[in-house]
A and B are shown apart, each in its own frame.
Chain A
Amino acid sequence: MLEKNYLWRIYWRLAGVIMVCVVIALAVVSFFSHRVFDRELVPEVEQKAATVANSVRALLLKATSYGVPFDKLYGVEQTFGEVFEENPEFSYAAVTDLDGNLLFARGKEPQGVRDFFRQPAIIAVGLDPTATWTPSHTGQQYFVSMPIASDKPLGMLHIGIDGKFVDNILLEVMLDVVVVLVVSLFFTLELLNFMAGARLASGLGEFAQQVERMRAGDFTATARIRANDEIGRLLRRIDAAIDHLNVRYEFLVGELEDKMRTATGPRREALRPAMNVLENIRSRLRFGSAPKEAEGDEMNLNRIRAPLFAFILAEEMTRSYLPTYVNQLLVPLWGISPQVVIGLPIMLFMLIVALGQPYLGSWSERVGRRRAMLIGASIATVGFAATALAINLYDLLLWRSLCALGYAMVFVAAQGYVLDRTGQQNRAQGFALFIGAIMVATVCGPSIGGILADNIGFRLSFAVSAVMALTSLLAIARLPKVEVRTNTSQRPSRGPRMREILALLVNKRFMTLTGLAAVPAKVILTGVCFYLVPLYIVSIGNTSAMAGRLLMVYAVMMVLIVPLSASLSDASMRRDRYVSVGLIISGLSGLLLLISDSFLVLFGVVFLLGLGQALSIAAQSALVADHCQEEIRIYGHDAVYGVYRLLERLGNALGPLIASILVIFWGYQGAFIAISAMVLVCGIAFTIATRGLDWQPQPAT
């Protein structure tokens, strides 16, 4: 049989080749861009240096006009220091006399600069009363030299421009290019799956299934339309061979029956061996038409991945800059601090998603998953477009609510789509595909969104999200119109009832897990990643693109660690330990800011938070089944998990609120530290509460 990872090995090889090509192409673009930057920016900076030099010269001349001798001027170096502070691209400044001898200087002296000042061509500029300024280049440094003259020439002023200033400018672009590279890798894998893999995987899967059926003696014919590609042609040939067998079989059976009908006595006995063979064939092999099952394209789970990815990407793209955008549209709300107001759209979004999801599940079942997704994506598209045009905070809240409603609809319907098409044996596989699409979108979205926001502005970036949501709409429209239900998904889903919620809220076992682990984990996620990081990064003079890069670090940690921690925690069956360790690591993350508020430390905060969340997230959900068996027996699996998810999502909504209140009292750093400390305390309490408990581990849910 086909090896399980056969296609993935091919994908990785293809992705490797594509990445090598992309890296070479990016290097070429960067090389040429560097040349353009060097050629075009240097004259502009020289022009600026001349303007600055002009201003400094005016000061020097003012001092000399009061009778201070030119070589005895006071505070020249200090003035140069102020110039450097305002213009970081200037690294050296000097005043020389008419012979090129150094009088005053500030900054690291470039090698050979004194000889440069004494060059006849440079000295000539100082002596020329008509000269304005002259640019020159020595070693790694660009120089702008300007004569200082009142009624007679006095000397020269030189401003040195760091030769590496273009490199420094391009360093930020390089970081973004690295982000583009990472996103391209994930994008490649998604596209390989979408453009080729989905059909290839389902075609090869069908081939393998067909071979298995034939091995089991099932030669029933299926009347399916095959794609016109290599796999389609292959399947058509197998279909033809099966059809041929069926025709032969029907013909032989018909002939035998005809003969049997007319035969009597010894003739009938002569036909007995043929009858025996037929009996034998019938006992081992099956011919005829296969029962009509909802197979093929309607069952193809892969088809949900592309629309889901595109849709989630649209929302994820806004993560890195939404709070900063809200900050721009801020209007004072009586009695509410601006910090809380900035978090309002995120809170509202999370709240709508949390409260809507349990009920939207049964709604999407009624109207059909495809239709529900179409409606959700349409609403979100309108929401994104309107957010781009928002006038102030009030209408922004409305548009973000539309986005949230659309998000909840698409999320729930896509989840239902997977549930409908999977049974017990392939449900985990189906959800891996579903979560995979979301994970990849969380890696790509914030970073690309941040880059876009920095370069084209917040409003146009929201417009890009609207286009992305519209694209997902088109992809959803291509999903099969036929609604499918496997036997195991026939039972209608329902939201948790109030009495179940109330009963579970006062249940110690349930609340130990939910209140001490699930909710704090979500509070720190949305509070830190969606609220504090974007705002803090901008407040310390960084860009939204940097916030996006940090959020990407979080997402990459999740993508890399979650599968590993999920399988390890399943194998060890000590999921509680993974949750404890994860919570404690998450809790320690923000405490790093006690050491320093540097950017590297913030990177460490996000890294640790990603690690902690990745360790605990998979184990947490599975732990509900381990930990709350009694509750599941009483209220049912759906109700317990429904309440668990509801509370978890309410934690999502609480995160920005708690973080914003903490910011009011203790500022950004204090908020990071306080929210982390709270999670750390919860982690320790969870560890103590679950220590020594009699676990009855269940398979992962």
Chain B
Amino acid sequence: MGTIRVRFILVALVVSFFAVGMAAFLNYFKYKSTIGNIVKSRVLVVGRGIENSIQASMQLGMQFSELSQLAQMMQREKSSDRLVRGIDVFDYSGQVIYSTDRARVGQKVAASWTQAAERSKTTEWTTEATDEFVAGISLRNAFDLTVGFLALRYSRDEVELAAAKAGREILLAAIGSFLGIAIVAPLALIIVIRRFEHDLHALEAAATHLEDRTESTLVTTSAFDTSIGHLRASLRDANKSLDDMRAKLDSAG
């Protein structure tokens, strides 16, 4: 196989690898972000229920730090969805006031939680911990002032296992199509570059006997015929001149 043909095939393979790889990458990340959003919004539905309850209590005049039934309600809501690992309510300083996990009450949440909540332009915010995701809601009173934050911790596994499974399938599809291309593209390229290779062969064949002056006949019409004609004519002319000189030298004895 000619080196030029190999290079063209390599180009096809590199481009296909890029395109198929990008398509697989896009599909995988779209899946991952979609499933992440679905799971997050599912968790936030649970959170909205708690938020409504807190706001209703505050509208009745209760203080944010005195919602005695809240812990119980949070426990109930947590058990309504197996995905939710724990629910915390914390104040501006990051101190947990209510939690489904008693040991967490009084402790401080990671600074990234409060930062994410403050950065968010809506009442919803998200952040990540080492082994869990956190979806949160900023709790506002009747005057639209933020009084605290509700955080729902849920397992990363749900999202990551689903993404890994989908990722494997998308990868297999991508590998399959790439292998398909690796077989089809070279064949298609060979057909397309036949004419070009024919031109190159014509050129090579024409140049084969330049040295020993036994000119091969031009194969067929090729894009290089004119050039080959000029090349041969020049060499013929030069050789003829040298032959002439040889003859004159020989005749001089």
Contact = CB atoms under 8 A, between A and B. Distances in A.
Q: Do A and B come from one complex?
A: yes
Interface of A: 1-3, 6, 10, 13-14, 16-18, 20-22, 24-26, 28-33, 36-37, 40-41, 44-45, 47-48, 51-52, 54-55, 58, 86-87, 169-170, 172-173, 176-177, 180-181, 184, 187-188, 191-192, 195-196, 200, 207-208, 210-211, 214-215, 217, 219, 228-231, 233-234, 237-238, 240-241, 244-245, 248-249, 252, 255-256, 259, 267, 270-271, 273-274, 276-278, 280-281, 284-285, 448, 451, 454-456
A41 B203 CA distance: 59
A664 to B, nearest CB: 18
A249 B242 contact: yes
Contacts of B48: 55
A176 B23 CA distance: 8
Interface of B: 2-4, 7-8, 10-12, 14-16, 18-20, 22-27, 29-31, 33-35, 38-39, 41-42, 45-46, 48-49, 80-81, 162, 165-166, 169-170, 172-174, 176-178, 180-181, 184-185, 188-189, 192-193, 196, 200, 203-204, 207-208, 210-211, 223-224, 226-227, 230-231, 233-235, 238-239, 241-242, 244-246, 248-249, 251-253
B80 A54 contact: yes
Given A21-B181, A25-B19, A219-B238, 10 more contacts: A2-B227, A40-B31, A40-B162, A169-B34, A180-B23, A188-B11, A214-B238, A231-B4, A238-B231, A281-B241
B41 A87 contact: yes
Given A36-B166, A44-B39, A180-B19, A170 B14 contact: no
B209 to A, nearest CB: 9
Contacts of A45: 38
Given A22-B15, A245-B238, A28 B180 contact: yes
Of B3, B80, B251, most buried by chain A (CB within 10 Å of CB) is B3
7 contacts: A24-B180, A40-B35, A180-B22, A180-B26, A187-B18, A229-B2, A237-B210
A277 B19 contact: no
Nearest to A273: B248
Contacts of B176: 28, 32
B207 A234 contact: yes
B245 A277 contact: yes
Contacts of B242: 245, 248-249, 252, 281
B43 to A, nearest CB: 8
B41 A48 contact: yes
Classify the interface of chain A: helix, strand, loop or mixed.
helix
Contact of B11 (A54, A170, A196, A271): A196
A571 to B, nearest CB: 29
Contact of B245 (A40, A214, A281): A281
A252 B243 CA distance: 10
Given A184-B15, A270-B252, A215 B34 contact: no
Contacts of B174: 29
B11 A277 contact: no
Nearest to A177: B23
A187 B21 CA distance: 14
Contacts of B22: 180, 448, 451
A446 to B, nearest CB: 15
Given A191-B15, A192-B8, A230-B200, A455 B46 contact: no
